[in-house]
Structure 1
Amino acid sequence: MARRAKPTEDTRSLSREAVLRFISDNPDLATKRDLAKAFGVKGEARVFLKDLIADLQAEGVIEGSRKRFSQAGIAPTVSVLEIRDRDDEGGLLGDPVGWNEDEHGPRPRFALRQTRDGPAAGIGDRVLAQLDMQALEGPVAKVIRLLDRKTSRALGVFRSAPGGGGRIEPVERRQLEYMIGPGDTRGAKDGDLVEVEPSLRSRAGLPIGSVAEVVGSLQSERAISTIALHAHSIPHVFPKAVLDEADRAGAATMDDREDWRDLPLVTIDPRDAKDHDDAVHARPDEDPTNPGGHIVTVAIADVSWYVRPATKLDAEAKLRGNSVYFPDRVVPMLPERISNDLCSLREGVDRPALAVRMVFDAQGEKRRHEFHRIMMRSHAKLAYQDAQAAIDGTPNEVDLAIVDGVLRPLWAAYATLKMGRDTRQPLDLDLPERKIVLDASGRVDRVIVPQRLDAHKLIEECMIQANVAAAETLESKRQALIYRAHDAPSMARMESLRDFLRTLELPLAKSGALRPSHFNGILHAVKDTEHESLVNEVVLRSQSQAAYSPENIGHFGLNLVRYAHFTSPIRRYADLVVHRALVTALGFGQGGLSREDEDQLEQTADEISRAERRAMAAERDTVDRLIAHHLAERIGDEFDGRIAGVTKSGLFVQLPAFGADGFIPISTLGSDYYHYDEIAHSLVGDRSKRGYRLGDTVSVKLVEAIPLAGSMRFEMLTEPRELPATNASFHKAGRRPARPGRAPRLKAAGAKNRKRR
């Protein structure tokens, strides 16, 4: 067999998709020489191009000889499809790339058939597929190979031109603008949010594109979050088949369930919560061998009863991975019929649940636990603030019987749980969460920092203990599961952190012995000092990112040996998997983990980890855009800020009052030449030796705000200050760093909440 050419740096622009697009767009310039010229292919890279063309010919995608290539046949049997939509049954639909309507007729849309053993494709992917135009149910395609998981389409705002056509205004800072011809608008109106298909045709000026899809008008109240949904390819419209399946669901029965409806479980949630997936109860342990101990019960909505493996509801939930939270809306993982109705633990209504009863001693150490599949009835729906007020003796509307019979025992149990937490010493970062409050029109009204109450901490600790119990039970039963894994910081990050702390004369233990308690000691040492904010920020950046995994590596941040998400199955697919695993392992009846799902846990963990990161990025981008839109009319105003990022290009400054960042290019900092000191997270003036450091409080002026891109640019008003001596290696080596290029994309501070631990 002949040896095939391997991709090189010179062939990185070559792909099946790119070659097919060029042939489609340039029917008169489609020789091998034209292709080589268009893609800058020279020397040995021509062999790679030759092999690529041979593959496309062998698969029937193109036809022709050395003189000219063209897309094959009137009715091609193999083509590249871009998956852009789903049908009413939830099936994927693909559009052929480079379809010539003059030769082949109107562009068909193919229903994709995927086998379990074949490549798994999704919205936004490009695939090589076998086409069947004669199928009884209409055009269908069988996926042969996954070509690209990233769609080439860009998102932007259509701005019409007087003579027809228009241009695309980008919604992200790094995006290009595109010119749109009069015949390529697809009916887009001025101000519409659209997806644009770039073209390889070029001319002087802006690149050319065509409108592929009209998303909606930017005049809508939800325009900002709509941008994030489409920019990050987040599914947000339930297929009709999924909604129909949810509507057919009925109330759960008592089969294989214990009747716990008389137990006074209560829900404690945010005041505006629409779904309630966890309820709690506590009482003193009457066992004489456990003096001062408590029995804590956590009941979680039994989503596994309603969402079964291999159903359309399950496929959609897995595709979404989790609910996504924006200031103006929630994009749920499950339809409202399931999330807000059948599975929501409503007050006074019978609801199925999985419950864990845990016994703790007087020091907060768990002695044992046991899971049950139950039917429960919430005895009260409480907001955090109301529960706290009742305990504090502040007048409120909570029934006195609930206060004395439920809340006081819960708070007594929390006092012991807190002792156990203090002994365990999880990582204790002080990072306040900010919440954007919108007015009736969807505009930013104000940004608040919600008060952190004992009621929040009580629920959080109960959920953590329930999650630990789930992992322990499944391990003891040798049942496969998905863990919430959080690895220890890497050696490289620890060395960087150690170098930084050395500039503050703060010691850090050798990396081999590091535990969260070591970081807590550092954080305690800088408490209420000028370095508190800075050190919290740097310690946070040194940590690894939590993810889902079928392999147990423990949870470093919580200082736990094993940990699994169990407590939020309405909004996280990982929790649903753990519920199913418990049903299977404990013989609880229907709705358990199937053998096929168990075999695919590694792939599932990877998919939902990516979905979580996708959701966090979309939420962060939406905050950026909302704040930029809110401040766009305040150009020239001065603000108090804090340096939240230091790069070679300049400084990111966060406005604490709003929770969003703006950028200060290094070239605007003054007449001095600034060096980037990576170890000290600072910019240092070459002549003055004064500068700016991560965590510094500064005053800035807003000079530019681009709402659609979610970016702001500031001017520094605070003079540089004297900085502690650092290991500034660039001074010793006599090197001057290259002038920075374009500023990186702005990032807003990520919100933390108990649901994501």
Structure 2
Amino acid sequence: MKTKGRGNGQKGKSPKKPVKRPALGVPDKATLLAFLNEAKTAIGPREIAIAFGIKGDERRALKAMLRELADEGAIAKTGRKEVASRTVPPEGGMFQIIEIDSQGELMARALGREDELYGPLVRLASMRAQVRHEGPPPGVGDRFIGKTRQTQEGEYEVQNIKRLGRVIERVFGVFMAADVRPGQAGSGGGRLVPADKKQRHDLMILPEHAKGARNGDLVAARLLPHRGYGPKKAEIIEIFGNNENPKAASILAIAAHGIPMGFTAEEEEEAQSAGPAPLGNREDLRHIPFVTIDPDDARDHDDAVYAEALPGGGHKILVAIADVAHYVTPGSALDEGALMRGNSVYFPDRVVPMLPERLSADLCSLMDGVERPCLALEIRIDAGGHKQSHRFVRGLMKSAASLTYTQAQMAIDGMPDAVTAPLLDTVLKPLWAAYRALEKARDQREPLEINSPERKIILSPEGKVLSIGLRDRFDAHRLIEEMMILSNVCAAETLEEKRSPLIYRVHDQPSETKLAALGDFLATVNMKWAKGQPPSPARFNRVLELAAPTEHAEMINEIVLRTQAQAIYDTDNLGHFGLNLRKYAHFTSPIRRYADLIVHRALISALGLGEDGLKKTSPEQLKKVAEAITATERRGMAAEREATDRYVAAFLSERVGATFDARITSVNRFGVFVRLEETGGDGLVPVMRLGSEYFHHDEAGHALIGSETGDRWELGAKVRVRLLEATPVSGGLLFDIVSQPKVGPVPGRRALRGPARGTTPMRKPGGPPRGVTRRKR
């Protein structure tokens, strides 16, 4: 990749500020390094020779010295000839993010003429504006045009000027040996089947690049230089399992997204040396019959609840949260590791925890019958669910029972078991009474009501998929959600009142561009969206309510969901649009989220609850932490989604040829994506499978329209599909639609001559006239 004027060296240019030389001639190594450091740019032997007045045979000596310095690691080659110092970054040019350090900082290095990395690792300056408004936050692999500066502390940082996108450094997938024979695993060369759905073609692996990989191995490979025609080649650099492993789906996702696995010896030592927390100065809460209510497959318990009625119809709610801050102190190995991970990542077959098991599943987990330290919150609400007061304490509690959502719901519905029966009148019914009050306040607040079901994958002990369905949704879920939301509000309010540093959980309102697209779409289904009025959750809810009895309900639900911004962590309070709350911070899950641990520490310091609170932290440092944990959250979500897709594809691979009920979830120029109602699996129906005519892509109407018949395949439509292909390696599903399309008006002749207003025509090379595209079955 070659870019003009990016400040990392161009032929014919001498350095900006050459150092003064006492004499001309071949310099010694120290003088040459000082010259390169002061140049702050990549330059070639010719420019160096000119600067030092080197001529004739002396040039050979210069080249030999440059080779020696490169072998010693003092300088880096940035192109075919250019070199640069490894100790000083260039003043500007192209950079690439290389890693996230132990403090959560994004670190970048400069790029040379031929994409060679050089110079030292440089900290990336704050990019909050891009995190909020320019799509996903920056991450490892991203490239950008940057400008460096030296801070007051003498360190270097680079400011992003223009984001350029992400480069694929490594490709993950399954190695398929070319010479496999019965009873053999294969050896030598073969091909790499990529695990990324976007990688459409296999990569060639020559024998000298296989590095001992055997047929079916899960591998990471480095792309090799590719010029001209023919298949792309790659070199295997890591082998981390075999595709025959039923748990290969999550193994691939963990490797591909760089999810940190395991813990350092220092982290394990700190975790193992920890012990139960004494009562000390804590408030004794052991007499209160707290209960935890979690999913059936919960691996840790970091919140417990209790409620009781108050005179006048109000309620007192107690929420106890695991006191992780007691065990994970600022600057410790556990703290650095937790920041690097950012959060726990959950897969159908495993969890990659933020903290060692000694803490996450033992000392910090609020297991029943065991004393555990907690940061507790007492909230008093009136009969309408409105908060009257709250206070935080640091306590010692003992859970009365660890319940599942199903278990608690069945008890309330009149089917208690041996565990819930003794708790029904004293614990569960008061909790539900408090929830009913909170429900009233929630209805008045009108948060965004979008239906977004979650898939649940059931595995055998060996890791084979037994079944896939949608998770049940009970009032028990909503009870815990409402109490946790209220607790998060209390945490944000308290820290604001104390003027404490704070990382908010913010959800910005939708952008003007997305709102305009929503308005254009609603017009196609005869619904109105007043563009001059500010957006609000209530407005979106009215749209969803009006759409509910119509055939467009699912489609509109999907469009409204896509219109929303993504929630992030930030030190600036933008409020939480979806929840319709002005102040909101994550407080209730410190076992699995670093953001919550920061809020715990801030509360401990602000309220004088101990010496292990938040240390003096600059606003800029806290912003960096917010950006880092936003990036790790996105990384974990992507890995979880990919692993789930692979498990679904593996489950369906034995049902190729079967038909399923589905719904169209996305419409593109190249086809439609559908989601199966039975399993939630997502897959593509290529446009060539939709009919034997030309199809226009109506972007505003989210539909593909047949130019001869007016047949419409539109977002949200229910369809019957046949599974043509399932690829467990990538999680890809390919379908054919066997049901009939919706009949619509035939496009006018203008559409056949050129693009109709609001549509995007497609054309194959050598195909039909512009504006239409032939599709064959």
> After TM superposition, is the score higher than 0.5?
yes
Query: What's the TM-score, normalizing by structure 1?
Result: 0.80
1:248-288 deviation digits (Å, cap 9, x = unpaired) = 222223333111111111111112222110000111123xx
Please say which of residues 636-645 and 200-209 is displaced more in the overlay.
200-209
Matched length:
664
Structure 1 residue 76 corresponds to structure 2 residue 73: yes
Q: Residue type matched to 2:626 in 1?
A: A
Structure 1 residue 157 corresponds to structure 2 residue 157: no
1:506-552 deviation digits (Å, cap 9, x = unpaired) = 22344533211111111112224322211111111111111111100
Q: Residue type matched to 1:170 in 2?
A: P
Backbone CA RMSD of aligned residues: 4.0
1:200-252 deviation digits (Å, cap 9, x = unpaired) = 26586333332211112222232111111111111122222222221122222
In 1, Cα distance between equivalents of 2:65 and 2:532: 62
In the alignment, which of 696, 710, 731 is matched to residue 675 of structure 1?
696
Match of 1:24 in 2: none
In the alignment, which of 224, 234, 240 is matched to residue 215 of structure 1?
240
In 2, Cα distance between equivalents of 1:561 and 1:680: 34
In the alignment, which of 193, 196, 200 is matched to residue 172 of structure 1?
196
Q: Is the 8 A contact 2:221 2:237 kept in 1?
A: yes
In 2, Cα distance between equivalents of 1:520 and 1:268: 29
Structure 1 residue 297 corresponds to structure 2 residue 318: yes
Match of 2:506 in 1: 485
The structure 1 segments of at least 4 consecutive aligned residues displaced by more than 6 Å after TM superposition are 55-58, 62-71, 80-88, 90-95, 112-127, 142-149, 724-730
Match of 2:277 in 1: 252
Q: Is the 8 A contact 1:57 1:63 kept in 2?
A: no
In the alignment, which of 743, 751, 757 is matched to residue 722 of structure 1?
743
Q: Residue type matched to 1:269 in 2?
A: D
Deviation at 1:451, TM superposition (A): 2.2
3-state DSSP of counterpart to 1:359: strand
Q: Is the 8 A contact 1:224 1:626 kept in 2?
A: yes
Structure 1 residue 6 corresponds to structure 2 residue 27: no
1:440-465 deviation digits (Å, cap 9, x = unpaired) = 33222111223211111111100000
Q: Is the 8 A contact 1:555 1:561 kept in 2?
A: yes
Q: Residue type matched to 2:189 in 1?
A: G
In 2, Cα distance between equivalents of 1:125 and 1:242: 30
3-state DSSP of counterpart to 1:173: coil
Deviation at 1:504, TM superposition (A): 2.1
Match of 1:447 in 2: 468
3-state DSSP of counterpart to 1:629: helix
Match of 1:580 in 2: 601
Structure 1 residue 637 corresponds to structure 2 residue 658: yes
Deviation at 1:124, TM superposition (A): 7.3
- Aligned ranges 1:316-715 → 2 under 5 Å: 316-596=337-617, 599-715=620-736
Deviation at 1:400, TM superposition (A): 3.6
Please say which of residues 570-579 and 245-254 is displaced more in the overlay.
245-254
3-state DSSP of counterpart to 1:375: strand
Q: Is the 8 A contact 1:123 1:233 kept in 2?
A: no
In the alignment, which of 738, 745, 750 is matched to residue 762 of structure 2?
738
Q: Residue type matched to 2:628 in 1?
A: E
Q: Residue type matched to 1:574 in 2?
A: A
Deviation at 1:69, TM superposition (A): 9.1
Q: Is the 8 A contact 1:438 1:445 kept in 2?
A: yes
Q: Residue type matched to 1:171 in 2?
A: A
Q: Residue type matched to 1:686 in 2?
A: S
3-state DSSP of counterpart to 2:372: strand
1:535-590 deviation digits (Å, cap 9, x = unpaired) = 11111111111111110010010000111000001111111111111111111112
Q: Is the 8 A contact 2:682 2:733 kept in 1?
A: yes
Structure 1 residue 267 corresponds to structure 2 residue 330: no
Q: Is the 8 A contact 1:554 1:561 kept in 2?
A: yes
3-state DSSP of counterpart to 2:71: coil
Q: Is the 8 A contact 1:179 1:209 kept in 2?
A: yes
Query: What's the TM-score, normalizing by structure 2?
Result: 0.78
In 1, Cα distance between equivalents of 2:45 and 2:313: 74
In the alignment, which of 204, 211, 214 is matched to residue 189 of structure 1?
214
Q: Is the 8 A contact 2:704 2:714 kept in 1?
A: yes
Deviation at 1:725, TM superposition (A): 11
The 3 A distance-change label for structure 1 pair 113 and 54 is closer
3-state DSSP of counterpart to 1:513: coil
In 2, Cα distance between equivalents of 1:736 and 1:525: 29
The 3 A distance-change label for structure 1 pair 702 and 308 is same
Please say which of residues 715-724 and 599-608 is displaced more in the overlay.
715-724
Q: Is the 8 A contact 2:570 2:627 kept in 1?
A: yes
The 3 A distance-change label for structure 1 pair 528 and 732 is closer
Deviation at 1:718, TM superposition (A): 1.9
Q: Residue type matched to 1:168 in 2?
A: L
- Aligned ranges 1:107-146 → 2 under 5 Å: none
Q: Residue type matched to 2:5 in 1?
A: K
Deviation at 1:720, TM superposition (A): 2.0
3-state DSSP of counterpart to 2:461: coil
In structure 2, runs of 5+ residues without a counterpart are: 11-39, 49-58, 78-85, 87-95, 113-118, 128-137, 145-154, 180-186, 766-777
3-state DSSP of counterpart to 2:72: coil
Q: Residue type matched to 1:615 in 2?
A: G
Q: Is the 8 A contact 1:703 1:715 kept in 2?
A: yes
The 3 A distance-change label for structure 1 pair 310 and 55 is farther
Match of 2:223 in 1: 198
In 2, Cα distance between equivalents of 1:377 and 1:619: 33
In 1, Cα distance between equivalents of 2:534 and 2:734: 43
Deviation at 1:169, TM superposition (A): 2.1
Deviation at 1:671, TM superposition (A): 1.7
Deviation at 1:398, TM superposition (A): 2.6
In structure 1, runs of 5+ residues without a counterpart are: 12-49, 99-111, 128-141, 742-757
Deviation at 1:71, TM superposition (A): 8.3
Q: Residue type matched to 1:160 in 2?
A: A
In 2, Cα distance between equivalents of 1:577 and 1:211: 40
In 2, Cα distance between equivalents of 1:735 and 1:437: 43
Q: Is the 8 A contact 1:119 1:143 kept in 2?
A: no
The 3 A distance-change label for structure 1 pair 91 and 632 is same
Please say which of residues 522-531 and 674-683 is displaced more in the overlay.
522-531
Of all paired residues, the percent bearing the same amino acid is 45
The 3 A distance-change label for structure 1 pair 296 and 91 is closer
